[in-house]
Homo-oligomer: A and B are copies of this chain.
Amino acid sequence: MKALLKEIRHNPLLWLLAFVPVLFACHKLRPESHTLLFVLSVFAIVPLAALLSHATESVAAKTGDAVGGLLNATLGNLTELVIALTALRAGQYMLVKASIAGAIVTNTLFMLGASFLLGGLKHHVQEYNRVSARMQAGLLFLATVALLIPSAVSEADSAAGAAFTQKLSMGLAVLLIVSYGLSMLFSLKTHRELFASAEHAEAGEAPWPLGLALATLGGVTVLVALVSEIFVESVQKAAEAFGMSQAFVGFIVVALVGGAAEMASAFSGARKNRLDLSVGIALGSASQIALFVAPMLVLVSYFIGPTPMDLQFWPGAVVMMLVATLTASLVTNSGRSAWFIGVLVLMVYAIFALTLYLLPPKVQ
């Protein structure tokens, strides 16, 4: 408990925890002020995500490399998963899909691009482990192909109906999860020496004792779930109030909020010239969402949603995911970076954000 308090004292991000009780109070007292609740829940999720991420890493550090890597790989995007599950239960499939696509695009373009830019402003040229970056980019490419196929086929064949899309999504979900499992076997077991630098670098912060870590993991997950409920409830009305399209909220706002904690680590790694760490977090997080969170949601939707969810995305989102993946592949191919590479990647993100922002609100 003392370790937790010390952590909170030293990490300004965690001071935002004060917003959690404020949010609950507001929700009780003024359940109709959606815009206020939306803003408060955004500020409340950020520190909770940071706590979750640190707790996961602490448990991982105690359990040895293989199990630890596994834990990190499955719980690393717990925040995104909980938010998506809440939206899923509320039947808001559009929001779920937008937040999946948005998390992939934001991690690949914004987190990677900003890391390159921030690192490049301090260091003239930076080098990083290409092998690891290539595997992550390859995984992402695979996942994008899987997510692209249902939309491409139903575009090409109007005869291919909803039943087809549903069965296909189910099959793709299984293929993606199997690929994800095999990728962990590869990087944690059979070829771990290729990924050495990225793995060791993550042991930067002092881990918590196991008990505290586990308790934090449990408690904070419950809090994230409660906050997410308010967030999902208020997001649609708040978006209208701000004049933002729902696509913009799902793609950009939810993705930035859910990934805030990882971004803090990625950016600090880049400033310390440990770009391996930044690239690993950015691409690893994106491929985790594409290969684990997204298919998991499809499978879970058979049990908790009003109807099963499929993997058919809005065609514009498919184009964006594909472009993001291609950008990451082209950019990480050389294993070197300078500030302008970051600008290029961020510009692609800015193009997408601008497009989504300007989209007429009715359009999904």
Contact = CB atoms under 8 A, between A and B. Distances in A.
Main secondary structure, interface of A, reads helix
A351 B149 contact: yes
Interface size class of A (residues with CB under 8 A): 35 or more
A339 B186 contact: yes
Contacts of A139: 344
A191 interface: yes
A152 interface: yes
A301 B76 CA distance: 49
Contact of A134 (B157, B334, B352): B334
A338 B138 contact: no
Given A145-B323, A152-B316, A351-B146, A363 B179 contact: no
A340 B157 contact: no
Given A146-B351, A168-B354, A340-B186, A316 B175 contact: no
A362 interface: yes
A307 interface: no
Contacts of A190: 338-340
A168 to B, nearest CB: 5
8 contacts: A149-B352, A152-B315, A153-B355, A160-B359, A168-B354, A182-B340, A186-B343, A190-B340
